[in-house]
Structure 1
């Protein structure tokens, strides 16, 4: 029988902790005492597992909450164009990760070892990401050294610095995306299904709390301590994930039918069914909805004359609102279904993005739209976080999820190739990023409606 992570309890006991506690009150003598002890032990095991997973989630959150804003600032200071920013920050890393992440997921699903299916791979991704961020912190100096070393053969100091940035950011992004995919698989393995919405709400709170701390106290310091901030971010990323791997115990891998060596590396069986394809389309549209604005929001703010301190304060306020609403959204997801709540949120975002496209023309209007973007997009990620667990089979979850990520990354690469040159040609009209968000949020809503209408769709979503 599978065991819950961090405990010696069967997974079913953790899932039924509330039922055991309730049943115990109706028994007498030793039966009542046993029921109470079992319920308390299950609750304690669940709490311990949650603590370790939250620590790991803090490390995972470093990519979006600290590393990405710092990397954007590094590119802005280096004078990178919109095209170079899009290529270096999203397109090239995504191109490599679209091959790396599915391969890691395939091996993780089939791995049988003393440490489980996920932790051995996480223990490789964590130090790799840490070292890459430390290298990124040193990339300006390394680029300058390469320029001096090449002499007349050098393409220029700026190109060398950008090349060093691209190398280290690509390694970090591949490691971080692999860690995220493996962490999602670990959560799917050890967390009771009925608790996923609330667990992911807590994960969001941890990540948003890290974002608030970064944008309130650290972001303004990037003018003078950018290298130190990147190095510390790498240490937190690697240290938290390794600590989680030490503290969490994985359950035994579920039994799966034997597959041939040649068939195993293709698309997962059932991947081409209509519900899965509509789900993939929905995830792709959601990623494209937020990607352009999230890539260029700092450039947009700078063009709108919004001070860095104000941008950091707005981000912190938006994250604080998201923290306040995260658990309520998670509770609604567990009660009403992730698809229903996600559809409401993405419809609201469609309105926000459309209004932003038409109305943003100064600092005040940018600040209003940016704050709404942070709050509503955060609500989407909270509401939609548990959807893959409901839509994909548990025994091959990471492979299905990684294949979904392959499709999402492919679309992101296409967007990354197009968005930079289009913004350069438009004279840096960053309202186009909001227009893209409005169009693809409407398409995402259409996919959700179609998915819910299919009789084969998973009812729990």
Structure 2
């Protein structure tokens, strides 16, 4: 079956004259390109389980175990982000340099996906292991709740590290095997898969997390690992040019040479791109992390919040292909800047006028739809900015800086909210300020596109 997905130039006479369906040394028929897209979207099915299912389930676990805002922020964001600082440059560098008959991305994905799946299964069993540990420690036990949180911290950190690196490698795989003229519309399909999972989870599963959390997490783990592995088997990578080994690279062996990291940051457009991605992350992260808790303080039930999320995702699905077409037509930077400008208006309006349950419902829907539109528009922006041959190296260097922004934001937001008496309205002020700064960076980047954009 895999042989029917990709056809080389030698298999199809005259296809060398049709770069429309080519990506590097891969040359597709229309059917072959469609099949490749479908298998990539199967991989996205697993990757989307992290944000759409695992994250809400993890937050519910923390709520059931009475975790503070600071603990939630540290466990969900800070600890995994610190570890990913070490992983992303390392995997990016070695993935770009790897040459095997399976390609340079798939060997890493096939090794990492089962670890992530096992970590989610560990999350599902955290309460059982916490109770067992409490019973074994007897009088020395810090309590069942602390034992549960300790196991959650270990398994969530492992899962987050694998999920972050899996997404980085998946992005590199898409860059290598997809014709770039279709990237906007591909990522529209990417968003639709993720949003569909979100709709199903919020409509039918989210309200069940309190009583069936173990079963839900077990399912998430199996889908995550199985989908990524199936994609790796069915998607074919092309041939890559050999890496030129410098003296630094020869001495590097396992660790990333400093010169390769400095090379990324020596380019002005890269610095502006990094600033834009960092600010976008800091724009959405606080409200996204604490929206469930915010809704709870206003008396909004999980069932109602899940329904609002499902409706919002439905609107986002309707908009996705239109945004993807605009990206392919006018460029990811311009459309991303427009969407972030819209989000600035939404966040500022929410901060000034959100004062009750009804207004929260309106703001929440607007937040999900407009932030989702930005993510759809910005998804292909790294492919437009970074060189293809060292794509994951540049993209992972960008991800390191985004991770630093997450660490900084999460280390401040949790204590700030605890100190403020759980005033989650402050997350809207944060979104307003950072979205404005992000728009300014995108505007600057749009006027100074790298050659060949």
Same fold (TM over 0.5): yes
Q: Is the 8 A contact 1:5 1:248 kept in 2?
A: no
Counterparts of 1:182 and 1:400, CA distance in 2:
12
Counterparts of 2:112 and 2:410, CA distance in 1: 25
Tell me the distance in 2 between the aligned counterparts of 1:327 and 1:13.
27
Check conservation: 1:5, 1:250, Cα contact below 8 A: no
Residue number in structure 2 paired with 1:24: none
Task: State whether structure 2 residue 94 is matched by structure 1 residue 101.
Answer: no
Change (3 A) 1:248 1:5: farther
Residues 1:385 and 2:384 are matched in the alignment = no
Aligned to 1:357: 351
The 3 A distance-change label for structure 1 pair 366 and 5 is farther
Q: Which residue of 2 aligns with 1:16?
A: 18
Equivalent pair of 1:188/1:389 in contact (CA under 8 Å): yes
**CA deviation after TM superposition for structure 1 residue 14, in Å:** 8.6
* Equivalent residue, structure 2, for 1:242: 229
CA contact (8 A) 1:9 1:45 kept: no
Shift of 1:253: 1.9
Q: CA deviation at 1:152?
A: 3.0
Following superposition, the deviation at residue 140 of structure 1 comes to 1.2
Structure 2 Cα separation of the partners of residues 324 and 354 of structure 1: 25
The one of 198, 204, 209 equivalent to 1:217 is 204
2:450 alignment counterpart: 457
Distance 1:385 1:147, change over 3 A: same
Contact in 1 for aligned 2:82/2:407 (Cα 8 Å): yes
Alignment match of 1:171 (pick from 139, 158, 172):
158
1:134 Cα deviation from its structure 2 partner? 0.6
Residue ranges of structure 1 left out of the alignment (5+ in a row) = 21-38
Where do residues 119-158 of structure 1 align in structure 2 (5 Å cutoff)? 119-158=106-145
Q: What is the aligned counterpart of 2:257 among 265, 269, 274?
A: 265
Q: Separation in 1 of the partners of 2:174 and 2:202?
A: 28
Range that drifts further, 9-18 or 90-99: 9-18
Aligned-partner SS, 1:8? coil
Q: What's the CA shift for 1:412? A: 0.4
Residues 10-59 of structure 1, C-alpha deviation per residue, up to 9 Å, x if partnerless? 49949936699xxxxxxxxxxxxxxxxxx9x6101101101110100111
C-alpha separation between the residues in 1 aligned to 2:145 and 2:119?
20
How far apart are the structure 2 equivalents of 1:423 and 1:334? 40
1:9 shift after superposition: 2.3
Structure 1 position 59 matched with structure 2 position 46:
yes
CA distance in 2, matches of 1:205, 1:374: 14
Aligned to 2:190: 203
Q: Does 1:77 align with 2:64?
A: yes
Task: Kindly provide the CA deviation profile for residues 40-96 of structure 1, in whole angstroms up to 9, marking residues without a partner as x.
Answer: x61011011011101001111000010001101111111111001001111111111
Q: 1:293 to 1:304 in 2, by over 3 A?
A: same
Measure, in 1, the Cα distance between the counterparts of 2:213 and 2:375: 28
Query: CA 1:437/1:4 → structure 2, altered by over 3 Å: closer, same or farther?
Result: farther
The whole-number CA distance in structure 1 between the counterparts of 2:451 and 2:315 is 31
CA distance change for structure 1 residues 141 and 434 in 2, over 3 Å: closer, same or farther? same
Question: Superposed, which structure 2 residues align to 1:222-301 within 5 Å?
Answer: 222-259=209-246, 260-261=248-249, 262=251, 265-266=257-258, 267=261, 269-301=263-295
Residue in structure 1 matched with residue 436 of structure 2 by the alignment: 442
Name the stretch that deviates more: 164-173 or 264-273.
264-273
Q: What is the CA-CA distance between 1:145 and the residue it aligns to?
A: 1.5
SS in 2 for 1:132: helix
Q: Say which SS state the counterpart of residue 390 (structure 2) adopts.
A: helix
How far the C-alpha of 1:257 sits from its partner, in A, is 2.9
Question: Who is 1:26 aligned against?
Answer: none
Match for 1:306 among 300, 306, 322? 300
Alpha-carbon contact 1:5-1:249 (below 8 Å) kept: no
Contact 2:5 2:31 in 1 (8 A): no
* 1:410 and 2:404 are equivalent in the alignment: yes
Deviation at 1:132, TM superposition (A): 0.5
SS of residue matched to 1:394: coil
The separation in 1 between residues aligned to 2:440 and 2:170, in whole angstroms, is 29
CA separation of 1:8/1:75 partners in 2, compared to 1, >3 Å: closer, same or farther? same
Structure 2 CA distance for partners of 1:108 and 1:4, relative to 1, 3 Å: farther
Q: Tell me, which stretches of 5 or more residues in structure 2 are unaligned?
A: none
Measured after TM superposition, the shift of residue 4 of structure 1 is: 11
